[in-house]
Structure 1
Amino acid sequence: MPTRADPFGPWFSLGLDMWMLGAEASSVIALRTLKLAGGGAAARAEAERMVSEKFAAAMTLSQQAMLGQLGTSIPDIGAKAVASYRRKVRANRKRLSRA
């Protein structure tokens, strides 16, 4: 239900956050592709980091969900999960942009 703080409701906000996650992830994919295309030790390290980060993020969110740490409503759970992934994607974009 829309509120004064969130006039479009939690589902609209969640959808917008998911859209932003997709846009941010696209830039990280492009930066990682360039790094991997360069080959060598840096590409190998990036590939290993990419896989381990994805596994760790999935395990962390699974654990938080099982312990009820993500919230009590579906929009809250989705918003916290997306926020967690967005933080990680932003950190990767910043790191990969410096290189």
Structure 2
Amino acid sequence: MFNPLMLLAAEANAVIALRMMKLMRGGRSARREANLMVSEKINAAFEATASLVAGASGDEIVHRYRQHVAKNAKRLSGQGRNLLLKRTRRRRK
């Protein structure tokens, strides 16, 4: 369990850095990101609690958190947007 926790900590730090850059830019997207960040934290806490009550192990909960962090990293780094743009370009041809 120690290794997944260390990976989660490192990955979460990367997402925090990406979020801070987005928040520092300001504007509408920063406000949306701040709201999304808070709602994601609340949803993740409820999901983890429900998983614990249902009998999930700590490893399973850490794995699920890592999935959420990876999804946020992809979204914040723009990789998802690049894929969307590629798909859009293909459709136009």
Report which of the two has the higher share of helix.
Answer: 2
In structure 2, how many angstroms separate the alpha carbons of the residues matched to 1:67 and 1:30? 33
What is the TM-score with the length of structure 2 in the denominator?
A: 0.82
Q: What's the counterpart of residue 58 of structure 1? A: 45
Q: CA RMSD in A?
A: 0.9
In structure 2, how many angstroms separate the alpha carbons of the residues matched to 1:27 and 1:60? 22
2:12 pairs, out of 25, 40, 46, with: 25
Q: Within 5 Å, give how 1:58-97 maps onto structure 2.
A: 58-68=45-55, 70=56, 77-97=57-77
What is the TM-score with the length of structure 1 in the denominator?
A: 0.77
CA contact (8 A) 2:23 2:30 kept: yes
Q: What's the counterpart of residue 40 of structure 1? A: 27
Q: Point out 4+ residue stretches in structure 1 off by more than 2 angstroms.
A: none
**AA matched with 1:43:** A
Provide structure 2 residue ranges, at least 5 long, that are not aligned to the other structure: 82-93
Q: What's the counterpart of residue 84 of structure 2? A: none
In structure 1, how many angstroms separate the alpha carbons of the residues matched to 2:41 and 2:60? 17
Give the total of aligned pairs.
Answer: 79
In structure 1, how many angstroms separate the alpha carbons of the residues matched to 2:49 and 2:22? 30
**AA matched with 1:47:** A
